[in-house]
A and B are shown apart, each in its own frame.
Chain A
């Protein structure tokens, strides 16, 4: 939709004030860097604007925010990792079973960075955001079966990573 013909400065101000904090918090959580999160917040808001201005309610607006911010931040992380040294050593989850270990969002995020790209968004929405499979399917526009398969794949790879580092339980 042509935003310029429908929007006013005041409307942008209101929507940015309302949803900007949610976007900023989410970007901070995923990027773990205040400056990058501030840049990402602006970028995500501009991209999500045309969707949230016509969203019927806050829940629908949040779905767009999750989808677009997740994709944007994961791409930022991917680009950052291409330029940087190999990702950090995984922290010791204290002998917890991998499913339990993934309740630690920091550990989950590190495992997300080691996963193939197609597994990352479902893993973030499940392990970082605590969404259910059905909700992830709707947010990402894929089938629930695909979500389940990708989460299973992610878990199986995570177990390997954790056991290779001498941590985690048996598969």
Chain B
């Protein structure tokens, strides 16, 4: 129950999804019994659910599935050219791909539309100090691996990858203007993955999107740490490396938001 004496939409929605624990569900049901306002909202939600399942879902499923399953930004890039980023060619490839990426990202949702993060009302056009990077919940890094025999799959903390797997990055910089992604492998070697082989952060577009290129994993076994730094000023790769060396479990860079992910590279 909120401070105004009613159930929040979240509680009512979670109740409908059967996602509340037993005690919370009982409390919510008890409240519904005694509150006309919340009971009306509960009834409306169930009526909408009925309507959705009976009419909207069958009418729209095919279209929605087609749109969700359509080739992703990364897949479209692959159609354009060999966007695998290997060694010394990486810098130029990444720079070119960024340029392509900007165009493609802008066209994904069609003219006159924006991504959900760009349209985030209250942040767009806000002053820089309105949202601190430390507290910006939008900032995120997801890692997707591609294995020849198994297709793509998400990489989480503790995931086991193999030499030859390719990893791609999906990032949302929130209000940050620059990103730098590095890696420290099982032997302690540090490599900058984005911009590949670069020496400092690069500017990044707003909204959640896949970074151009992919990194093919080598044969060094052990735990590899991926570290992404989001900042409003460029960060030197050396500073990131020092931060990882200093505190591998929780690297920190001044005035920046650091996100890390550990995976295990297993060599047969």
Contacts and interface: CB of A to CB of B under 8 A. Distances in A.
Contacts, number: 186
B65 interface: yes
B48 A121 contact: no
Interface size on A, as a range, is: 35 or more
Interface stretch (A19-27, A80-88, A90-98, A159-167): A19-27
B200 interface: no
Main secondary structure of the interface of A (DSSP, over half): helix
Interface in A113-157: 117-122, 128-132, 135, 138-143, 146, 150
B160 interface: no
A47 B172 CA distance: 14
A20 B52 CA distance: 7
A6 B153 contact: yes
Interface in B137-155: 137-138, 142, 144, 146, 151-154
Q: Of B71, B74, B126, B135, which is in contact with the most chain A CB atoms at under 10 Å from its CB?
A: B135
B44 interface: yes
Contacts of A141: 120, 123, 131, 135-138, 174
Interface size on B, as a range, is: 35 or more
19 contacts: A13-B65, A20-B56, A24-B48, A38-B59, A48-B116, A66-B9, A71-B120, A72-B116, A74-B121, A75-B121, A103-B4, A128-B9, A131-B2, A135-B10, A141-B123, A141-B135, A141-B136, A141-B137, A141-B138
Given A4-B71, A12-B69, 14 more contacts: A1-B144, A2-B144, A2-B152, A16-B65, A20-B52, A21-B53, A24-B51, A24-B52, A47-B115, A57-B19, A71-B116, A103-B4, A141-B131, A146-B130
